[in-house]
Amino acid sequence: MSTSERDALKRIFGNTGFLIAGRAINAVCSFVYIAWAVRALGLSQFGVLMLVTTFGAAISQATHLLSWQPLLHYGTDPFTNGRQAQFARVLAFCIRADYISGGVGWLVGTLGVALFGTYMGWPAADQGAAFAYMLTIAFTNTSWSAGVFRLCNSFWLTMLTDLSGALVRTVGSGVGFMYHMGLDYYLLVWSVTQLVMFISSTTLGWLQLRHAGATRRFSLFAPLEAGDAPGIWRFTLSTSCNHLLGSVFNQFGTLLVGGILGPADAAVYRVSRQIGEGIAKPAQLMMPALYPEFIRLREDQDWYGIKRVTIKLFLMIGGFSIVLMGVAMAVGNILLTWMLHVHWHGGRSLIMLMLGSAILGLGVVPLEPLLTVIGQVSQVLKGRIIVTLTYLPLMYGMTMAWHLEGAAAAAVVAGLIMLGVCLRPVVAWFRRMAPGRRPVNGNASPSIMPPMPEKGTGT
């Protein structure tokens, strides 16, 4: 293994460790605050809470722009080489994208409650609180600060942001449980949690930039100049559309279950999905740490290094998945019963299906950033489109036929399709750019030139 590969893997696992620590704290807290919320509200009202907050999260994910990706993609070179004015203009573009998309999300969410609230399973009496909760979407997007943390190799700051939100939600839920508070109070707790995370993330991101000396030339309204970031809008929209379609898979499934089966079943589906994804989350958190390392290897044109890193990650994910299945068999149903305070018949099979979907998603973890970095983000977008067109009608039919087990099985089929669509172009790219083993003379690449980036992406 070359030094660059070894260093890349070391940084990937080190930064992933910080992300895992933050999410592990959040996961432990979620087991506590969800249990308190269920006991305070009852399963039906807790289902309404999950539907409203899931709808808000779905709209946020559907409307916000992933500004951290263009910040890394176009800002790494000027940031590293001291071109502060150019970096400041790219940063200003990313911050504006966050705030504008947050405002658009708030408007879309408010309109969505007015038009579809009744059809998504929550009573008309609760729609006033749902309208107020949609304001949360305006300050949900902190993508630019996440990009700063990754650009500065300060992933531990993400852990602090997650910790601030987990503590607020846990303490607030505990107070609500002690004093028997209702749905409006818990929606306020969820909203304040997001506000605290927004403030902490923004503050830490700005302090990190000041420490790096990258704020002296900054102006929020500074426009991009020619040559700063060619194709940045196309790249941003492509990656954001991919994220949008991913949110359809992750969030709108819960809303569809609520509309078909009711709030109680939606709560069971949402919590069982959360358990399955929570068990698989450590490996999923590797994805943000991969982007900067793949960019470094791409800048060095170390195609064999990219190939070796990707293969090693696949092998590790495969071994990790076997362990996950054993954990789910042992404790999955126990966690579901404890969090919902009811024993749900078939809970173990439901969680195993949810975990199966999450494990298939783990296979995409190294593929999505790789395809984005090498200029084939359209392949990821193609996969998301195919999955979306397949998943929603399939889930509707299987939910009608087999209830929650059918909905979970539809997620497994969708995950398998996404893995196959992303794996195919990666294998073809490796065969073309890094065939066989690395040449004996070190980092030499094949004589063939790398493929031209997609028009307008600037990759």
pLDDT score recorded for residue 283: 65
Integer Cα distance of 386 and 404 in angstroms: 23
Q: How confident is the model at residue 118 (pLDDT cuts 50, 70, 90)?
A: low
Higher pLDDT, 347 or 425: 425
pLDDT tens per residue, range 132-179:
999 999 988 888 998 898 888 887 888 888 889 989 999 999 999 999
pLDDT tens, residue by residue, 247-264: 666 667 777 787 787 777
Residue 206: pLDDT over 80: yes
- pLDDT per residue as tens digits for the range 357-369: 878 887 888 888 8
Q: What is the C-alpha separation between 338 and 324, in angstroms, rounded?
A: 20
Which of 361, 363, 365, 381 has its CA nearest to residue 457?
381
Q: Are 395 and 410 in contact (CB under 8 A)?
A: yes
User: What is the average pLDDT across 56-83?
Assistant: 86
Q: Write the single-letter amino acid at 302.
A: D
Both tokens of residue 344? 């749900």
Q: What is the pLDDT of residue 89?
A: 92
Q: How far apart are CA 118 and CA 263, in angstroms?
A: 12
pLDDT at 1 over 80: no
Mean pLDDT, residues 226-236: 86
Mean pLDDT value across residues 291-297: 81
Structure tokens at 398: 């299987």
Quick one: pLDDT at residue 278?
67
Q: How confident is the model at residue 446, as a pLDDT?
A: 46
Residue-averaged pLDDT of the chain: 81
On whether the CB atoms of residues 275 and 354 are closer than 8 A, the answer is: yes
Nearest to 183 by CA among 133, 114, 149: 133
What are the extents of the domains in the chain? Answer: 13-253, 262-435
Q: Which of 365, 334, 352 is nearest to 273 (CA)?
A: 352
Q: Is the pLDDT of residue 412 over 70?
A: yes
At 454, the pLDDT band (50, 70, 90 cuts) reads very low
- DSSP per-residue codes, 434-452: S-SSPPTTSS---SSPPPP
Average pLDDT over residues 68-87: 87
Residue type, 324: L
pTM above 0.75, yes or no: no
Q: Cα dihedral sign for 323, 324, 330, 335?
A: positive
Could you read off the pLDDT of 311-329 as tens digits, one per residue? 888 888 878 778 877 777 7
Reported as a single tens digit per residue, the pLDDT across 60-72 is 888 888 888 899 8
Percent of all residues in the chain with a pLDDT value above 70, rounded to a whole number: 86
pLDDT at 197 over 90: yes
For residue 404, give every residue at least 6 positions away whose Cβ sits within 8 Å of its Cβ, in sequence order, or none. Answer: 257, 261, 265, 268, 269, 272, 346, 350
In the block, tokens 């807790």 appear at 46
What sign results for the dihedral spanned by CA atoms 396, 400, 401, 407? positive
